[in-house]
Amino acid sequence: MITLKGEHIYLRALEPEDLEFIHTIENDETIWEISNTQTPYSKYLIKQYLEHAHKDIFEVKQLRLVISSYDDVAIGMIDLFDFDFKNGRAGVGILVKEPNDRLKGYGSEALKLLIDYSFTHLGIHQLYCNISEENEASIKLFSNHGFKNVGLKKDWNKVNGSYRNEYFFQLIKN
């Protein structure tokens, strides 16, 4: 795995030591809406996931990386998911864990690194993401990196008993 280095952060592969960090994120009910999580994850299941995290993106159709500060503090995660080699596309998901670490440019830097890596090293033709209509920060983040809003999925996600719309964004390699 190539280490992806930015000015303030770097992206790295998952390590067994990330168990507590991932367990905390996956069990944070405040972000279940964006991750489509319905139930808590046990440490046992996350440990099993970490044991297989080294597998190739072409095999498992996913690449999850930790966003890390240069003093080796895990700040968040960024994913490629539903990797479709035949059609050259993958979905992107990103999360900066702590609210006080958001809006500092870490997510933007991580997204730029992942875009460059995807187009240069993985041969991806297009990236896409799904963003809740209310998630103004993510809409701004992805728009600032060239993603275009290409559609609205009405009543797409049920959250706390009501339905919410979701945008579909795409970035196609030039």
pLDDT band at 1 (very low <50, low <70, confident <90, very high): very low
In this model, does residue 109 exceed pLDDT 50?
Answer: yes
User: Per residue in 113-134, pLDDT tens?
Assistant: 999 999 999 999 999 999 999 9
Domain that holds residue 47: 4-172
Cα three-residue angle 110-169-172, rounded to 5 degrees = 75
> How many domains, in total, are found in the chain?
1
Q: What is the pLDDT of residue 158?
A: 85
Average pLDDT in the 57-69 region? Answer: 81
Amino acid letter at 155? D
Q: What is the pLDDT of residue 38?
A: 60
pLDDT band at 18 (very low <50, low <70, confident <90, very high): confident
What is the C-alpha to C-alpha distance for residues 50 and 70, in angstroms, rounded to an integer? 22
| Exposed/middle/buried for residue 93 (C-beta within 10 Å: 0-12, 13-18, 19+) | middle
Q: What is the pLDDT of residue 173?
A: 95
Q: What is the pLDDT of residue 3?
A: 58
Three-class secondary structure of residue 148 per DSSP: strand
Start-to-end C-alpha separation, the chain: 25
On average, the pLDDT of the chain sits at 86
Q: What is the pLDDT of residue 54?
A: 59
What CATH number did the domain enclosing 23 receive? 3.40.630.30
Average pLDDT in the 51-57 region? Answer: 62
